[in-house]
Amino acid sequence: MNATNLRFFKAFLLNEKSSILNKSNEFRSEQSSEKTPISDEAELASKDLSMNLSIHLHERDRSQLMMIERALGKISDGSYGQCESCDAEIGDKRLKARPFAVLCIDCMEEQEGRNSYLN
């Protein structure tokens, strides 16, 4: 991978990391500030649904943050863009679509094929 692409992906990943961390801080702030009393069951159900959705989104962001950290580590050690299964280079198009991809298209399709066979 050339240095220009590497800088692009590193900047993109750092920006995504920053965005997720900011959302995480907002989530914590929201959770600590919501102390208003609930007047009826419908409001309670609505608040509960909203809380569950927020928690789900927070967990998804946390998972994505771990993948970003892993990709940044790969940039640091020089293995970014290399398939973890076959050691081939992951294509730029795939990395632009999913910058924290760890498998090339062929290996990902093979893995998905095995998973669909098991289900």
Annotated domain spans of the chain: 1-80, 81-119
Question: Other CB atoms closer than 10 Å to residue 90's CB: what's the count?
Answer: 21
How far apart CA 81 and CA 71 sit, in angstroms, is 9
Cα angle 97-110-8, degrees, rounded to a multiple of 5: 20
Give the HSE-up count for residue 31: Cα atoms under 13 Å, Cβ half-sphere: 12
Is there a contact between 94 and 105 (Cβ–Cβ < 8 Å)? yes
Q: What is the pLDDT of residues 18-66, one digit of tens each?
A: 998 888 777 666 666 656 666 777 776 777 777 677 777 778 888 999 9
Work out the mean pLDDT of the chain and round it to a whole number: 85
Q: Is the whole model's pTM more than 0.85, yes or no?
A: no
Query: SS in 3 state form for 66-112?
Result: HHHHHHHHHHHHCCCCECCCCCCECCHHHHHHCCCCCCCHHHHHHHH
How far apart CA 117 and CA 112 sit, in angstroms, is 8
How far apart CA 59 and CA 56 sit, in angstroms, is 5
pLDDT band at 1, cuts 50/70/90?
confident
Output DSSP code: residue 40: S
**Beta-bridge mates of residue 82:** 89
Superfamily grouping for domain 1-80 = DksA, coiled-coil domain (1.20.120.910)
